[in-house]
Amino acid sequence: MPCNPCIGGSAKGQLVCEIDALGGEMGKAADATFLQSRILNKGKGPAVHSLRVQSDRMKYHAYMKQVLEKEPLLDVKQGEVTEICVENDKVTGIRTRLGAFYGAKAVIITTGTYLNGEIHIGELSYACGPDNVAPAIPLTESLKKLGLDIRRFKTGTPARVHKRSIDFSVMEEQCGDEEIIPFSFDNELPLENKVKCYVTYTNHETHKVILDNLHRSPLYSGRIHGVGPRYCPSIEDKIVRFSDKERHQLFVEPMGLDTDEYYLQGMSTSLPEDVQIKFLRTIKGLENVEIMRPAYAIEYDCCNPLELYASLEFKKIKGLFGAGQFNCTSGYEEAAAQGLIAGVNAVRGIEGKTPFILDRASSYIGTLIDDLVTKGCVEPYRMMTSRSEYRLILRQDNAPERLTEYGREIGLINDERYAKFKEMMQKVSDETERIRRTTVHVTDELNKMLEEKGTSPLTHGIKFIELLKRPQVGYNDIRPFDKWAPELTPDIVSKIEINVKYEGYIKTQQAQIKEMRRLENKLLPTDIDYKTVSGLRLEAQEKLNKHKPLNIGQAGRISGVNPADVSVLLIWLAAKGNNDD
């Protein structure tokens, strides 16, 4: 589990629901081990509603370890891989530090932040991975010898502190939601919040201690060379970059039920331990704080994702795949999404099947991978709702509708789950059609409810569905005035409400998606030399030759290729007779 003991969050919750809809494990593990559950952005529209749970870190680890060990088609081996073996640009297997060779037709590299990892705390630096686990050092040299473009990134983690040294009484309580929504469609576990989280803030004194010791931060002394995540900066970086802010928020979160260790979300740093103690003790509620494990920064090696196909297979080496932070992303939800897709495509490649590729309109997973392989990144990539142009379609609540059929196709959704999914969709369809036909008649009680909701009363009967389109009114508000309304679960009610209230916007996005997919269906030859395409700008020729896009849509998303270049490619394809929609 990540150093931060939570799963989900803004856009990341959508990824977890998509992983689950495809038949992945992360959502099930999160449901089985969560301590507190909250939907973020509830005050905004459904496109940005995101589930986040605080999980028990050790129980999550144990749960997932058992899932792996009980999988009959999986052999679990523990050891350090030091070499990727390749012959004639094709993977043949891997070699371990002990000299063992494992033959393989496909290999997936998922090294996280352990690849050539180096910890930084103040003036001290040493080779290490997270949690004091040994780093993978020889593997970097093996990858470089294969001609892969390896780059250096960095990330960080905050201090862990002892519960007994925290004064929760002066902090803001952050409770879980009363109505708990599971991540997994399969979930049948009883779900209840077991803990509270807390919020406190830095202040002027905190900032002064940090600024006075900035020269002792390896980030500012020049000892860290890796590029860090823009959207998850260290506390010293926040204070320098946002010097006008009087305070910064930090979240005090438990690591589990069977430990007194707490995590200070939002306070990652690479300052020395004595400085960490000093600035933490300026914060309300942490005046007597005891650090159990100091914060640190970590540098690590990763690949250039522009060297990958959308299947996450390397273009240079057949059968070699990358996934997770090795592909320049940050976050475990992004990593899990890539791991699932890489795993599916590794198997499909061995079986001689076409790659399984999700497009931008199908999922955040498709958006994530498309961004990586067409745009690349110069810093750790983090999924956000703003990265998707189709986010009203890509909601977490409709992940099963969008992706269950794909999960069925790739063999990860069993008969029982598929039948349950079809039953749910039938209920949504039946009730939507019923309320389209049903008239709600005027009564004093109905008009009183409408006025209390801040909307105009009725003068005559109206179709249930038209009344539901009013933004102030929900399905359960109208239900008492319709004697034929069936008993429905909250998730089905939510799906009906969203589909009805946002019908116009959804149709607009579906039209945009249709045009996008028209361009995606215009395939480009992989052996084309774009220097021979008359009318393309020089920059576009260079970028297209470097990336070798699979279709017009992908070509248009490459940095340096503009709409005029896309028009040139469309004309060129039409002249070649490749203009089928």
Q: How far apart are CA 435 and CA 170, in angstroms?
A: 50
Is 561 part of a structural domain of the chain?
yes
| Strand ranges of the sheet holding 6-8, from the earlier edge strand across to the other edge | 6-8, 50-55, 34-40
Is the separation of the CB atoms in 318 and 86 below 8 Å?
no
Count the residues in the chain.
581
3-state SS assignment for residue 20: helix
End-to-end Cα distance, the chain: 44
* Residue 353 pLDDT: 96
Task: Tell me the pairing of strands 107-109 and 320-322.
Answer: parallel
Given a contact cutoff of 8 angstroms between Cβ atoms, the answer to whether 366 and 359 are in contact is yes
Note whether residue 69 is domain-resident. no
pLDDT tens by residue, 298-335 = 999 999 999 999 999 999 999 999 999 999 999 899 99
Q: In whole angstroms, what is the distance from residue 252 CA to residue 261 CA?
A: 10
Cβ neighbours of residue 515 under 8 Å, at least 6 residues apart? none
Is residue 265 a part of any domain in this protein?
A: no
Q: Is residue 462 in a domain?
A: yes
Model's pTM, two decimal places?
0.92
Q: How far apart are CA 302 and CA 299, in angstroms?
A: 10
Q: What is the domain-level CATH number for residue 431? A: 1.10.10.1800
Query: What pLDDT tens digit does each residue of the chain (581 aa) get?
Result: 878 899 999 999 999 999 999 999 999 999 999 999 999 998 888 889 999 999 999 999 999 999 999 999 999 999 999 999 999 999 999 999 999 999 999 999 999 999 999 999 999 999 999 988 999 999 999 999 999 999 999 999 999 999 999 999 999 999 999 999 999 999 988 899 999 999 999 999 999 999 999 999 988 877 888 787 777 789 999 999 899 999 999 999 999 999 999 999 999 999 999 999 999 999 999 999 999 999 999 999 999 999 999 999 999 999 999 999 999 999 899 999 999 999 999 999 999 999 999 999 999 999 999 999 998 888 999 999 989 989 999 999 999 999 999 999 999 999 999 999 999 999 999 999 999 999 999 999 999 999 999 999 999 999 999 999 999 999 999 999 998 999 999 899 999 999 999 999 999 999 988 888 888 889 999 889 999 999 999 999 998 998 888 889 889 888 888 888 999 999 998 888 765 54
Q: Where are the alpha helices (DSSP H) in 380-443?
A: 399-409, 415-437
**CB proximity list for 395: less than 8 A, separation 6 or greater:** 14, 46, 47, 49, 498
Same domain membership, residue 538 and residue 482: no
Distance of CA 52 to the CA centre of its chain: 11
Q: Which domain holds residue 526?
A: 521-576
Instruction: Please name which of 56, 57, 287, 271 lies closest in space to residue 167, comparing C-alpha atoms.
Output: 287
Final residue in a domain of this structure, among 471, 489, 507: 489
Whole-angstrom distance, CA of residue 126 vs CA of residue 351: 43
Contact (Cβ atoms closer than 8 angstroms) between residue 247 and residue 205: no
> Is the residue at 531 inside a domain?
yes
SS3 235: helix
Q: Does residue 463 belong to any structural domain of this protein?
A: yes
Rg (CA), the chain: 26
Last residue of a domain, one of 449, 465, 489: 489
pLDDT at 1: 83
What's the confidence (pLDDT) of residue 579?
A: 52
pLDDT for 550: 86
Same domain, 479 and 532: no
> Which of 430, 465, 489 delimits the end of a domain?
489
In the prediction, which pLDDT does 575 show?
A: 87
Position 352 in a domain: no
Spatial neighbors of 104 by CB under 8 A, at least 6 apart, are 91, 92, 93, 94, 319
Instruction: Report the pLDDT value the prediction gives residue 53, as an integer from 0 to 100.
Output: 96
- On the 0-12 / 13-18 / 19+ scale of CB atoms within 10 A, 80 is middle
Spell 212-245 as b/e; 16+ CB within 10 A means b. ebeebbbbbeebbebbbbeebbbbbbbbbeeeee
- 446 part of a folded domain: yes
CATH classification of the domain holding 537: 1.10.150.570
Number of domains composing the chain: 2
For residues 23, 28, 30, 34, the Cα torsion angle rounded to the nearest 10 degrees is 160
Tokens 């891989």 locate to 81
